[in-house]
């Protein structure tokens, strides 16, 4: 069916190691997909959902010990530990190959090996890359067919080239003690064994698109970033595009699919991507971005018609739901859906469940896997081979007192510093400890495939080459009052901040220079319609700088930077300048009193 000597030889070598009973090539056809679904229904790997309510949808339940990405089992494997850097788990590449070869030996015995050629990115695009995943999991095949472009389109793109990312995956025996997700960036190779969870097993996603992708971008002069891409269309039909990076639990997917408040007549938000951006410098000197994925792999709990109606509409068909509540009439439910809980149902573990059980019915990391093309607000440009031009880059985190609602960096170099110090504070719901600051630069801490100090350098070098760079901003939807309540209303009202950001990009409003960056004037953020929730005085407090919080912040930043032995001089200089500006501001405030 396909002719590529490099691919053929690799498949044969891997089959000799893993010893499958047969080999099936995925061609991307609907007929083949239907056969695989039928096999999964027969084996119990999938449960057919109510086809009247959820046409084309299926339920998947994972092993109870295999429900999330496992960072302690995730490694960057290089010849030198320095190349992996201080923020990654490192394993010597030779040692890793040896260890995993022993685990993969006969791991597919009695199973089928599926060969999945897949394309990341739009067809016929200079951005796009080909990967091939070998797996013994039908769930992986069916999910990869949603998340990527599989089969003939990938092989037609690859042709006779040996330039593809090699991904080998086996469920093994799902033993957590022998679970490894190993990345070999120097070889463009990924080996994953012992897990069937999406983030560990769908090798096109975080593994290729970010960990291997970021390494490729570093060496080839482009950027692979953990960022949503969204377009905002004004009433005149002009569209401006934003890329934004947020750590987990900061509302990234909700922002990507935002619906503007009703008062903003004629405005629309277009979703280009909700998770990953590949960005290159265009001939016009601007930064252009594509979403390399074809689907959404989203967290379900908390998703509702209130928080994200576009996501809810997206997942009404052709979706795989994982580890949610299964109702008696084969519908799905989860905590935070804002619908009455079923009186009797089956929980994510497969046990009888009711609201009175006292336990969550859906796993906190339960997921949906859905085609992006089904999203009501999917951008008409999301498959444009050129990508879309980025006007603004936004960083954000969950900070109770430190970061104001929004501020703009002074320039690209300062913006890289803002991204390098990005952080969120933990909540009791997630860790048991409140307010612990966790640095997550550019939201890439778990996903950078090489030394993060060099990653900062790459950002700085890219900035020198972009003649018309995006402006860089930081947002914080999560500032709290003395009682711990969120001050900013969030959700759809975040659109109001995005408009200020775009007005800055277009030079339509000025700003106040502060020690940390340019702050809005309260009057320039439109709060029409929410004055009952947020007065201009309260908004001014959201835009203020808390000196005590920033005193702690700069101490914590210093401790963070001590980790890096390849920290760029520009980052050190920006830290020094921030410290000096805060000291001057403090002295000025003291003398004014």
Could you tell me if 128 and 231 lie in one domain? no
**pLDDT on residue 433:** 61
- Max Cα separation, the chain? 80
Is residue 428 predicted with pLDDT exceeding 60?
no
Q: According to the model, what pLDDT value does residue 593 have?
A: 36
Q: What is the CATH number of the domain that holds 299?
A: 2.170.8.10
Please check if 169 is assigned to a binding site. no
Task: Answer with the one of 199, 221, 243 that is the final residue of a domain.
Answer: 221
Residue 520 CB neighbours (<10 A): 25
Domain CATH for 36: 3.40.449.10
Q: What integer pLDDT is reported at residue 41 of this predicted model?
A: 98
Q: What is the pLDDT of residue 3?
A: 83
What is the spatial distance between Cα 223 and Cα 85, in angstroms, rounded to a whole number? 18
CA distance 501 to 411: 14
Tokens read off for 199 = 């983030």
Which residues are CB-neighbours of 327 under 8 A, at least 6 positions away?
Answer: 333, 342, 345
Distance of CA 534 to the CA centre of its chain: 31
Q: 374, 400, 427: which is the final residue of a domain?
A: 374
Q: Measuring CA to CA, which residue among 575, 182, 230 is closest to residue 416?
A: 575
Contact yes or no for 474/517 (Cβ under 8 A): yes
Number of structural domains (the chain) is: 3
Report yes or no: 566 and 576 within 8 Å, Cβ to Cβ: no
Within a domain: 55: no
Mean pLDDT of 509-522: 98
- The reply, when asked if residue 494 is annotated as ligand binding, is yes
Q: What is the pLDDT of residue 430?
A: 40
Predicted confidence (pLDDT) per residue in 339-393, tens digit: 999 999 999 999 999 999 999 999 999 999 999 999 999 999 999 999 999 999 9
* 501 & 397 share domain: yes
Ligand-binding site membership of 411 (annotated): no
Q: Is residue 119 assigned to a domain?
A: yes
**Rounded CA gap, 420 and 566, in Å?**
13
Contact 23, 15 (CB under 8 A): yes
Closest to 212 measured CA to CA, from 228, 193, 189, 195: 189
The answer to whether 504 is a known ligand-binding residue is no
Read off the tokens for 5. Answer: 């000597």
Average pLDDT over residues 139-159: 97
Confidence at residue 588, expressed as pLDDT on a 0 to 100 scale: 60
Mean pLDDT of 320-346: 97
Task: Show the CA angle centred on residue 572, arms to residues 571 and 576, nearest 5°.
Answer: 115
Residue 256 lies in a domain: yes
The reply to whether 206 sits in an annotated binding site is yes
332 and 460 assigned to the same domain: no
180 and 192 both lie in a single domain? yes
Q: How far apart are CA 159 and CA 588, in angstroms?
A: 66
What per-residue confidence (pLDDT) applies to 281? 98
Same domain, 28 and 160: yes
> Which pLDDT belongs to residue 151?
97
Residue 576 in any domain: the answer is yes
Q: Are residues 93 and 122 in the same domain?
A: yes
Q: CA 513 to CA 108: how far, in whole Å?
A: 61
The backbone torsions φ and ψ at residue 550, rounded to the nearest 5 degrees and listed phi first, read -75, -25
Q: Are 164 and 303 contained in the same domain?
A: no
**199 carries a ligand binding annotation:** yes
If asked whether residues 323 and 396 sit together in one domain, one would say no
Range of weakest confidence among 229-233, 422-426, 456-460: 422-426
Instruction: Give whole-number Cα distances, 194 to 21, 136, 155, 202, 571, in Å.
Output: 19, 11, 28, 13, 39
Q: Which residues contact 66 (CB under 8 A, 6 or more apart)?
A: 174, 176, 179, 195, 196, 197, 200
Please, where are the H alpha helices in 105-235? 138-147, 152-158, 198-201, 213-220
Of 77, 250, 377, 448, the active-site residue reads 250
Considering the domain boundaries, does residue 365 fall inside one?
A: yes
For the chain, what is the mean pLDDT? 95
Q: Is 249 annotated as a binding residue?
A: yes
Query: For residue 124, which of 150, 157, 164, 87 has the smallest C-alpha distance?
Result: 157
User: Taking the mean position of all CA atoms in its chain, how far away is CA 45?
Assistant: 27
- pLDDT above 90 covers a percentage of the chain that reads 94
Same-domain pairing of 152 and 18: yes
User: Cα–Cα distance between 261 and 494 in angstroms, integer?
Assistant: 9
Flag whether 275 is marked binding: yes
Q: pLDDT (tens digit, 9 = 90+) per residue, 55-81?
A: 999 999 999 999 999 999 999 999 999
Is residue 73 annotated as a catalytic residue, yes or no?
no
- Whether residue 58 lies inside any domain: the answer is no
Q: What is the pLDDT of residue 251?
A: 87
389 in the same domain as 515: yes
102 and 214: one domain?
Answer: yes
Q: Is 592 annotated as a binding residue?
A: no
State the pLDDT confidence band at 444, using cuts at 50, 70 and 90. Answer: very high
What value does the mean pLDDT take over residues 28-55? 98
Span 463-474, average pLDDT: 98
Give the pLDDT of residue 1.
57
Give the Å distances, CA to CA, from 400 to 56, 115, 478, 544, 558.
42, 47, 6, 13, 20
Residues 346, 328: Cα–Cα separation, whole Å: 8
H-state helical runs in 67-137: 81-84, 93-104
State yes or no: pLDDT of 432 exceeds 60: no
**How does strand 287-290 pair with strand 388-396?**
antiparallel
- Residue 335 lies in domain: 295-374
Q: Which residue has the tokens 């685990």?
A: 103
549-576 pLDDT, tens digit per residue, is 999 999 999 999 999 999 999 999 999 9
CB contact at 8 A, 342 and 332? no
591 pLDDT above the threshold of 90: no
Residue with tokens 């080839």: 220
Structure tokens at 582: 């805060």
pTM of the model: 0.96
Question: Tokens standing for 88?
Answer: 């990654």
Query: What is the average per-residue pLDDT within 528-552?
Result: 94
Is a pLDDT exceeding 50 seen at residue 431? Answer: no
CA proximity to 243, closest of 424, 389, 446: 389
Residue 62 placed within a domain: no
The conformation of residue 205, written as its DSSP 8-state character, comes to I
Confidence at residue 429, expressed as pLDDT on a 0 to 100 scale: 42
Q: Are residues 423 and 464 in the same domain?
A: yes
Q: Which CATH number do you get for residue 452?
A: 3.90.228.20
Question: Which of 322, 350, 374 represents a domain boundary (last residue)?
Answer: 374
Residue 61 in any domain: the answer is no
């Amino acid at each position: 069916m396909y002719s590529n000597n490099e691919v053929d030889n690799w498949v044969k070598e891997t089959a000799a190691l893993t010893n499958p009973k047969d080999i099936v090539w995925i061609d991307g056809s609907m007929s083949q997909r239907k056969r695989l679904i039928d096999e999964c229904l027969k084996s119990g790997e999938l449960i057919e959902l109510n086809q009247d309510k959820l046409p084309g949808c299926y339920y998947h339940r994972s092993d109870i010990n295999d429900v999330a990405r496992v960072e302690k089992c995730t490694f960057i494997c290089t010849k030198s530990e320095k190349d992996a850097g201080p923020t990654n788990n490192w394993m010597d590449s030779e040692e890793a190959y040896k260890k995993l070869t022993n685990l993969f030996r006969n791991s597919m015995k009695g199973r089928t090996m599926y060969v999945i050629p897949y394309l990341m990115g739009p067809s016929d695009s200079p951005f796009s890359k080909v990967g091939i995943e070998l797996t013994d999991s039908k769930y992986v095949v069916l999910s990869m067919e949603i998340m990527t472009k599989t089969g003939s389109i990938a092989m037609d793109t690859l042709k006779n080239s040996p330039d593809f990312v090699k991904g080998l995956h086996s469920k093994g025996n799902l033993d957590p003690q022998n679970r490894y997700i190993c990345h070999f960036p120097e070889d463009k190779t990924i080996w994953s064994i012992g897990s069937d969870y999406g983030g560990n097993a769908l090798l096109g996603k975080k593994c290729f698109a970010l960990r291997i992708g970021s390494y490729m971008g570093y060496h080839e002069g482009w950027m692979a970033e953990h960022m949503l891409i969204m377009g905002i269309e004004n009433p005149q039909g002009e569209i401006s595009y934003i890329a934004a990076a947020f750590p987990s639990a900061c509302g990234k997917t909700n922002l990507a699919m935002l619906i503007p408040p009703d008062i903003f007549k004629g405005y629309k938000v277009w979703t280009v991507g909700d998770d990953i951006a590949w960005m290159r410098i265009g001939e016009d000197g601007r930064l252009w971005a594509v979403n390399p994925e074809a689907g959404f792999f989203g967290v379900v709990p908390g998703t509702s018609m209130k928080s994200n109606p576009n996501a809810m509409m997206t997942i009404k068909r052709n979706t795989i739901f994982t580890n949610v509540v299964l109702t008696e009439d084969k519908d799905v439910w989860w905590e935070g859906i804002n619908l009455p809980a079923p009186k009797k149902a089956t929980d994510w573990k497969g046990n009888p469940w009711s609201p009175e059980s006292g336990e969550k019915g859906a796993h906190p990391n339960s997921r949906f896997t859905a085609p992006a093309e089904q999203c009501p607000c999917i951008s008409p440009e999301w498959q444009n081979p050129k990508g879309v031009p980025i006007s603004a880059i936004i960083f954000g985190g969950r900070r109770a007192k430190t970061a104001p609602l929004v501020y703009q960096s002074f320039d690209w170099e300062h913006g890289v510093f803002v991204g390098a110090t990005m952080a969120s504070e933990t909540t009791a719901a997630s860790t048991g400890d409140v307010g612990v600051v966790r640095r997550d630069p550019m939201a890439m801490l778990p996903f950078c495939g090489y030394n993060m100090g060099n990653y900062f350098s790459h950002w700085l070098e890219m900035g020198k080459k972009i003649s018309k760079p995006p402006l860089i901003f930081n947002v914080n939807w999560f500032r709290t009052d003395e009682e711990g309540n969120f001050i900013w209303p969030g959700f759809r009202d975040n659109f109001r901040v995005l408009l200020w950001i775009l007005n800055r990009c277009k030079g339509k409003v000025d700003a106040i220079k502060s020690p940390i960056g340019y702050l809005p004037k309260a009057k320039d953020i439109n709060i029409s319609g929410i004055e009952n929730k947020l007065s201009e005085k309260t908004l001014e407090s959201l835009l203020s700088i808390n000196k005590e919080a920033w005193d702690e912040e700069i101490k914590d930043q210093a401790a963070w930077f001590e980790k890096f032995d390849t920290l760029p001089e520009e980052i050190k200089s920006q830290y020094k300048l921030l410290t000096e500006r805060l000291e001057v501001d403090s002295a000025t405030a003291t003398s004014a009193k």
